[in-house]
Structure 1
Amino acid sequence: MALSPRIELKLSQSLVMTPQLQQAIKLLQYSNIDLVDFVAQEIEKNPLLEVGDSSPSSAAEDINGAKTKEGSEATSDDYLTNPGAENLNSEAALDTSFDNDFTNDCINDGVQKSPTDNDMGLTSSSMIGNGGSSFDQAGSGFDLRLSEEISLSDHLLDQLNLLALDHHDKSIIRFLVGMLDDAGYLSESTPDIAERFNCDVAEIEKLLDVAQGLEPVGVFARDLSECLKLQQKANDRLDPAMEALLDNLERLAKRDYNGLMRICGVDEEDLRDMISEIQALNPKPGQIFGNPVSQSVIPDVFIRKNPKGNWIVELNSETLPRVLFNNHYFTEIQDLTKKKEDKEYLAECAASASWLVKALDQRARTILKVSSELVKHQELFFEKGVKYLKPLNLKTIADAIEMHESTVSRVTSNKFISTNRGIFELKYFFTTAISSVEGGESHSSESVKHALQSLIDDEDPKKILSDDKLVEILKSQGIDIARRTVAKYREALHIPSSIQRRRIKNAAF
């Protein structure tokens, strides 16, 4: 056969993901906060989208001539036979709204953060002052300044301005302030800082000593031991015995009191007094200037029992943005559009708005289907507790709802469910299986961990259970588990070894 260039026609099939399909997949794994941010961005750049009204007589109802059911609710029996929720529209046309009865300000407001008390006694003022100079005005002047919360960095920089240092040295200390974490510890090593400023390590250490003299005492420490040493030094209590104790905090955590008395050269009474002094210190001095506000977990799904005893699965309407396609505005502006570019832009906005409504609708359906099937498989957990949690994998749920495992994985990521036993991430219910001794039903790894924790909590301080003994007890309960698995689960639960537990539970003080 001659080797020469030639033209050939070839037919082939390939799977290509469109940008909209890729974005729909991303929507599945968005958390409720990420979803609100994404929808807000889409509404901002698309004039045909708007935030829906939470009132019963919404624009969508006027267009469609039918009301959508408030919330998204179905019993477990309903979803065993019909995973799709009747209260969600099957198809979303251009004039369809995604209605889940959420409030008007859901798009603009995130999770409300609860105010925290300032440990230094500085609280936020409840009155809004206008900053005037009159002494009669509420919330003005010196009282208002006292009510403002001061950050750790501001407090340190105010002290730095009073020190007699040159500009270069102050610049380095300002950099050190910026490297502090919330607890007040220095997060970068002195050699790295010296390399950054092209100077000797000894110079950085000298400036670090200056910085460690600032208040609160203990900041700029590189570890817990140094933090406590700085505080004891300020208290004039850093003698050789105390320094030896602070150099062996690991032994103190393990309650190795005999070893500590030998290392520090003190008796039992002196060691007890030294430990009491350490317990009075602040291991995180930076946090007195305001603890970081913890992010509250907002569940995406609720489950509860109805009067008949069936489990009801509901979507949390507060986490589902209600987006409307403004069909009236679209029709009005379509008649006024004459230029080809404007028509193309309007058609693109209409297609994007229609896609977003459908994608949000499909996302809600999928979360509801996965959650309902999950409740079906883990019903004993909700009835009796973690001991009855069954082994479960993604494939089981995927096969039941006729979806791919990757889809179920995305749905269960960053999603939380509120149950009668607390709030759990959906992934919590997917656990590996531990075989049964007599070939019976397998046990969930979480239920095995719970059984292991219960055995250790109830053990006699005089008869500490070794890992081998725990294996023996668990096997007597029908759980076929290896010793290395017990050790792995014990470490995952942050449970010390039997030797350490014996020392802790039988400690003299």
Structure 2
Amino acid sequence: MALTPRLELKQSQSLVMTPQLQQAIRLLQYSNMELVDFVIDEVEKNPLLEMGEANDQSQTPGESERDESEKNGKESEAVTSSDEYLSADTMQGSESDTPLDTDYENVFNNDTASDEPLSNYSDSLSVSGSGMSSGGSFEDMDFSLEQRVGESTTLRDHLEDQLNMIVLPTNDKLILQYLIGSLDESGYLTEDIDLIAERFGCSTDEIERVLAIAQTFDPIGVFARNLSECLKIQQRELDRLDPAMEALLDNLELLAKRDFNALKRLCRVDTEDLRDMIGEIQSLNPRPGSLFGGEVVQTVVPDVFIRKSPKGEWFVELNSETLPRVLLNNRYHTVVKEQARNKEEKEYLAECMASANWLVKALDQRARTILKVSSELVRQQSEFFEKGIKFLRPLNLKTIAEAIDMHESTVSRVTANKYIATNRGIFEMKYFFTTAISSMAEGDVHSAEAVKHSIKSLIDEENPKKILSDDKLVELLKAEGIDIARRTVAKYREALNIPSSIQRRRIKNSAL
């Protein structure tokens, strides 16, 4: 057959994901902070969008919107989670009715989404913000705890103040400044000495000499490279670093194992002296840097709340404080549209309107999907909320996906980086998905978390004179109807940071 160029027609099917659909997929797995950052970025790029404020609790959402429109003189339209505010005007100009579900053949039921009132929703998708009152009274100024903590002296500031008070060669000060920047929040030096010497083009002895100066700074113990060195610095300052103490600090792993006989041999001391030495170590500070303020710890903000209704049913709602509220300024769009002079300006305005409408639909779909998944999750784990962790059921993504007619990857994205506030505390949604452990009785299974809880309970209640081995734990668990292997018990025990039976025996029966 001759090889000649020719034209052929072929028909095939392929899935093409638009950039907007790809972004909608990413929106599902965003945390509440990431979502707010994304929306703020979209508002900055789109002149038709504005960030709204949280509604006044004393008003209905509709009244609040009317008051805001009268106050600002704008015919702005609130983009909220409720169908009442997703009007036809808001959705005009949408270029595509493609469902925003995240996977092929995973079609979100738009009819259900648009016809059912979301009674479980809060008032609106909103970002709550607090502003200072316009009055001149100092009573209106509210300085939060985070602000006061953020203004406290940090470890780095404290060390730099001491550096400025001493006289050193310029090169030594530069090295010391670098060492200060290499400390972690506990005051330990995290970078290798050889790398620092290579960076400054000098010998390791030079770095060690400057490091010795740095280790005299307050608080005593900073610039140590490990726990042993940190405690040695503090004991040296107290003039208590004798050979016996140094031997003890060089073998802290034996102290952690409660191997006192080995320590007495290494330190060449008797029981009474070893007891006194351990008492001295316990009075030291293993984390000297923690005495100073550092980064403010960010508290976990739940995305979903659940509570029990008077009828005994679990009620699920979204946390409106974590959902950004966007305003679409229709009046500004109308004015700018009338003044558009050429094709480029009209096309840009159309793109902005399409982008704004997409953001409205994407935020609404995201909220509905999270609510749908979390509601099914609560239904599946209702016994856990009623009775406790021992009744946590084995659960996987497929079970939730089949129950709500969605794809597993959609459920996985929805539960990623999301937290749910329950009557038993705040949990990450992924916490409720656990593997199944078979039972001695047919048909019954136990979740891995429930088994871990049983192991921890048995160890907490064990007799110090009869420490439970892993084999004994297997027997006791089988007596409770849990069929589990010894290596699985050992794996779960290590995951709970529980020492072995030998180490527990030394800890609980230590007589020093």
Q: TM-score, normalised to structure 1's length? A: 0.85
* Structure 1 gap segments, 5+ residues each: 72-81, 90-97, 119-123, 125-147
Aligned to 1:435: 438
Distance (Å, rounded) in 2 between the aligned partners of 1:313 and 1:274: 56
Give the drift of 1:483: 0.5
Distance (Å, rounded) in 2 between the aligned partners of 1:371 and 1:396: 13
Q: Does residue 1:378 correspond to 2:357, yes or no?
A: no
> Structure 1 residues 192 and 449 mapped into 2: Cα distance closer, same or farther (>3 Å)?
same
Q: How does 1:450-461 map to 2 (within 5 A)?
A: 450-461=453-464
Aligned to 2:33: 33
Q: Deviations over 1:48-70 (max 9, x none)?
A: 11123514324489888999869
Give the drift of 1:162: 3.1
Please tell me whether the aligned partners of residues 40 and 107 of structure 1 are also in contact (alpha carbons under 8 angstroms).
no
Q: Does residue 1:417 correspond to 2:441, yes or no?
A: no
Aligned to 1:77: none
Please tell me whether the aligned partners of residues 416 and 426 of structure 1 are also in contact (alpha carbons under 8 angstroms).
yes
Q: Does residue 1:5 correspond to 2:36, yes or no?
A: no
Aligned to 1:115: 146
Equivalent residue in structure 1 for 2:336, among 324, 333, 337: 333
> Matched residue of 2:206: which SS?
helix
> Structure 1 residues 373 and 297 mapped into 2: Cα distance closer, same or farther (>3 Å)?
same
Give the drift of 1:495: 0.3
Give the drift of 1:346: 0.7
Q: Does residue 1:87 correspond to 2:87, yes or no?
A: no
Q: Does residue 1:271 correspond to 2:274, yes or no?
A: yes
Distance (Å, rounded) in 2 between the aligned partners of 1:51 and 1:116: 24
Aligned to 2:211: 208
Please tell me whether the aligned partners of residues 82 and 117 of structure 2 are also in contact (alpha carbons under 8 angstroms).
yes
> Structure 1 residues 67 and 261 mapped into 2: Cα distance closer, same or farther (>3 Å)?
closer
Please tell me whether the aligned partners of residues 315 and 368 of structure 1 are also in contact (alpha carbons under 8 angstroms).
yes
> Structure 1 residues 497 and 68 mapped into 2: Cα distance closer, same or farther (>3 Å)?
closer
Distance (Å, rounded) in 1 between the aligned partners of 2:428 and 2:470: 30
Q: Which amino acid aligns with 2:19?
A: P
Equivalent residue in structure 1 for 2:298, among 282, 289, 295: 295
Q: How does 1:312-391 map to 2 (within 5 A)?
A: 312-391=315-394
> What is the aligned-residue RMSD (CA, Å)?
2.7
Equivalent residue in structure 2 for 1:242, among 212, 233, 245: 245
Aligned to 1:309: 312
Q: Does residue 1:100 correspond to 2:124, yes or no?
A: yes
Distance (Å, rounded) in 1 between the aligned partners of 2:65 and 2:317: 24
Q: Does residue 1:499 correspond to 2:509, yes or no?
A: no
Distance (Å, rounded) in 2 between the aligned partners of 1:30 and 1:492: 28
Please tell me whether the aligned partners of residues 218 and 227 of structure 1 are also in contact (alpha carbons under 8 angstroms).
yes
Aligned to 1:283: 286
Please tell me whether the aligned partners of residues 80 and 325 of structure 2 are also in contact (alpha carbons under 8 angstroms).
no
Aligned to 1:488: 491
Q: Which moved more, 1:278-287 or 1:228-237?
A: 278-287
Distance (Å, rounded) in 1 between the aligned partners of 2:148 and 2:285: 18
Aligned to 1:393: 396
Q: Deviations over 1:270-296 (max 9, x none)?
A: 112111111111111112121432110
Aligned to 1:140: none
Q: Does residue 1:51 correspond to 2:51, yes or no?
A: yes
> Matched residue of 2:225: which SS?
coil
Q: TM-score, normalised to structure 2's length? A: 0.85
Distance (Å, rounded) in 1 between the aligned partners of 2:283 and 2:401: 54
Equivalent residue in structure 1 for 2:410, among 403, 407, 411: 407
Aligned to 1:17: 17
Please tell me whether the aligned partners of residues 183 and 287 of structure 1 are also in contact (alpha carbons under 8 angstroms).
yes
Distance (Å, rounded) in 2 between the aligned partners of 1:69 and 1:486: 48
Identical-residue share of aligned pairs (%): 66
> Structure 1 residues 259 and 24 mapped into 2: Cα distance closer, same or farther (>3 Å)?
same
The size of the alignment, in residue pairs, is 460
Q: Which moved more, 1:41-50 or 1:476-485?
A: 41-50
Q: How does 1:126-205 map to 2 (within 5 A)?
A: 149-205=152-208
Distance (Å, rounded) in 2 between the aligned partners of 1:504 and 1:83: 59
> Structure 1 residues 495 and 6 mapped into 2: Cα distance closer, same or farther (>3 Å)?
same
Give the drift of 1:161: 2.6
Q: Deviations over 1:201-251 (max 9, x none)?
A: 111111111111122111110000000000000000000111111111111
Q: Which amino acid aligns with 1:362?
A: Q
Please tell me whether the aligned partners of residues 78 and 327 of structure 2 are also in contact (alpha carbons under 8 angstroms).
no
Q: Does residue 1:463 correspond to 2:494, yes or no?
A: no
Give the drift of 1:454: 0.3
